[in-house]
Amino acid sequence: MDDILLSINNLRTSFRIDGQYYAAVDGVSIDIMHNEVFAIVGESGCGKSALSLSITKLHNMNYTRIEGEVNFNGQNLLDLNESKLNKVRGKDISVIFQDPLTALNPVIRVGPQIEESLTYHTNMNKKEKRDRAIKLLSEVGMVNPELTYASFPHELSGGMRQRATIAVSLACSPKLIIADEPTTALDVTIQAQILDLLRKLQKETQSSIILITHDLGVVAEMADRVAVMYAGQIVELASANDLFKNPQHPYTRSLLASIPNVGEDLHRLNAIKGIVPTLMYMPREGCRFSHRTPWIDGSMHEENPDYHEVRPNHFVFCTCYKDFYFENEGGA
C-alpha cells in the first residue's frame, strides 16, 4: 500500500542471558502509515522500547538477535550493515529518547549537537548549519535560541533539554520519529507543553511518530492508532477512538480500569494482579496474560492464540476477550 511508511513483519528481538536467547519482542507485525501518530502502550517490561530500538538496530548487537522484517523505503532495515543503517538513522528515521540528560552529550554545546546530523547527511556549509540549528531551536519553543545554541546541556532545565533533543531529531526533516517515553522525566506542566509541541510539529512536517508510552492519557491526547503490548506481543490494535470507547482484550480493559475517574465515586481502584513476567520465565505458549486473571477459566483462552477482527481494523489477540469479567464482578 502506498500509505504504508514502515512495515514490521514477524519481528522477534531476543537478548542473550546466560548463553540463552529470550525474546522480548515475539512475533510483532504492524504497519505505520504516512502522517500518523502510532502509539505503543503497556506496562514497563512489556517490550515497547525493545521494539522501537529494533527498528534501526540500536541495541547492542553483541547480546541481541533481531529476526523478521522492518521494511522502509523498499528495503529491509535488518539486512543493512552499520554503514548503510547510519545513512537512515537521523536522516529518514530519528529517535527522541526518554532521558534528555543522557541523550545529549554533556561536554558539547547544544548547537553543534544539532549540527552533527546535518554534517553527516547534508552538504550545508558552516553558516547554513548554524542558521538551521537556531531556526530549529526557535521552532521547538526556545525563547532565546542563540543563547541555547551556545549552552551546554547542564545549563538548561529539563523541559529545555527535551526541546533540544527534539530539535536534534528534526534536523534532517525525518519521515519517521520514534518518541520513546518523551515526557517521562518531566513534570506535568512541561509534559503538556512537550506533547503540544510534538503534535504541532507533526502536523507541520507531516512526518509519522511512533509514540512509546505507558501513559494512557498521553495516548488519548496524541494518537491516531494504538497497539497495546503485553509480554512481547501486541494484544490489541485499533484506532485510538475505538480502543477507548470499546476496549476488548482483558489487558486493555484492566489498564483502563486502573485509571482514576473524576466522575466515579470509588473506594479503591481496580488493580492488575501480579507483574509482567521476566524474560527468562515468560510463558511462551497460550495466552500470556492468563496468569494475571486466575479467576478466568482456562477454556476461555486459545491454546494457540491468534488475532480476531472484532470490528473493521480493530484486532484482538486470543478469544479470552469474549467472556472476560473483572474479579469483583463475579461470574459473567
* pLDDT one-digit tens code per residue, 92-145: 999 998 888 888 999 999 999 999 999 999 999 999 999 999 999 999 999 999
Do residues 14 and 21 make contact, with C-beta atoms less than 8 angstroms apart?
yes
| pLDDT at residue 264, rounded to an integer | 64
Read off the pLDDT of residues 26-77 as tens digits, 9 standing for 90 and up: 999 999 999 999 999 999 999 999 999 999 999 999 999 999 999 998 899 9
Report how far residue 285's alpha carbon sits from residue 292's, in angstroms, rounded to the nearest whole number. 15
**pLDDT band at 246, cuts 50/70/90?**
very high
Cell numbers at residue 250, please? 482483558
Q: Is 78 helix (H, G, I), strand (E, B) or coil?
A: helix
178 membership: H or E segment, kind and range = strand 176-180
Question: 106, exposed or middle or buried, with CB in 10 Å at 0-12, 13-18, 19+?
Answer: exposed
Cell numbers at residue 161, please? 533539554
Report how far residue 4's alpha carbon sits from residue 7's, in angstroms, rounded to the nearest whole number. 7
| Residue 154, CA distances (Å) to 108, 140, 278, 329 in order | 10, 18, 35, 51
Report how far residue 172's alpha carbon sits from residue 178's, in angstroms, rounded to the nearest whole number. 14
Report how far residue 115's alpha carbon sits from residue 172's, in angstroms, rounded to the nearest whole number. 10
Phi, psi of 46 (to 5 degrees): -85, -15
Q: What is the dihedral of CA 298, 299, 305, 307, to 10 degrees?
A: -120
**Residue 7 scores a pLDDT above 90:** yes
**Which residues, including other chains, have CB under 8 Å from residue 57's CB and lie 6 or more apart?**
66, 77, 78, 85
Q: Where do runs of H (alpha helix) occur along the chain?
A: 48-54, 82-88, 100-103, 110-121, 126-139, 145-149, 158-170, 188-205, 216-222, 240-245, 250-257
User: Could you tell me what percent of the chain has a pLDDT over 70?
Assistant: 96
**Residue 271 scores a pLDDT above 90:** no
Q: List the domains of the chain with CATH numbers.
A: 4-223 (3.40.50.300), 247-322 (no CATH)
Cell numbers at residue 241, please? 477512538
- Of residues 182 and 234, more confidently modeled: 234
Q: Of 38, 48, 45, nearest to 7 (Cα)?
A: 38
- Of residues 191 and 111, more confidently modeled: 111
| pLDDT at residue 179, rounded to an integer | 95
